[in-house]
Amino acid sequence: MSENLPTQAQADIVCQMKSHRLVPVIVLDRAEEGAPLAEALVSGGLPVAEVTMRTPAALDAMRNIAQFPDVLLGAGTVLQPEQVDMAVDSGAKYIICPGMHRGVIERCLELGVLCIPGAITPSDIALAMDYGLEQVKFFPAEAFGGAKTLKAMAAPYQEMRFVPTGGIHAGNVADYLAIPSVVACGGSWMVDRKLVNEGKFDAITSLVSEAVNLVKGI
């Protein structure tokens, strides 16, 4: 398996994630929710979005978010290679998947798109390294032992960086961000799906702002 070195564009995306320290994980049930949600993220000071491809509206919602150039837009829950193309065509700049989906990884490498696959074991990390990847998603983080497990697993892999996701909230995010190899944490508490569906974007802006202030203090 040949090693694929990251491009400067990919490195810039990781730097942006690291600077914000949070990646909001978003589920959108209606495409028209994309624009006001993007506005809420920008207003709250966290212009990063991982839109999960769990709903029929996800691609159109991404297209609406992509109209906001300040938002670092990515696609999550990408399971198939063809979804990579659809997500990129809809404006996604990076791809996140829940596991080591080889087809997804290989398609991202072909397109030169940043891929952050899910990893939960040392073997997963080793496979990611074989592909030349420098970041993986530790998922589901809390279900697999949380920050304590991640810290222990990361120790032998000094060059690998992690985006832990799954069960992370305001009460435990500091435990993960304290680990030097963590780039950013994925979380959904600041983009609550119920609030989105109810159109309460002012409330989302407030939650986003609170999350930003929280991580600034860590």
Please tell me the distance from the alpha carbon of residue 138 to that of residue 160, in angstroms, as a whole number.
Answer: 11
Instruction: HSE, CB side, 13 Å, CA atoms: give it for residue 188.
Output: 16
- Which helix (H) or strand (E) segment holds residue 213: the answer is helix 201-216
Residue with the two structure tokens 């090693």: 3
Q: Which residues form the catalytic set?
A: 50, 137
83-87 CB contacts, 8 Å cutoff, 24+ apart: 83/53, 84/108, 84/111, 84/113, 85/111, 86/59, 87/53, 87/59, 87/62
**Tokens at residue 74, please?**
């990515």
CB 160, CB 185: distance < 8 Å: no
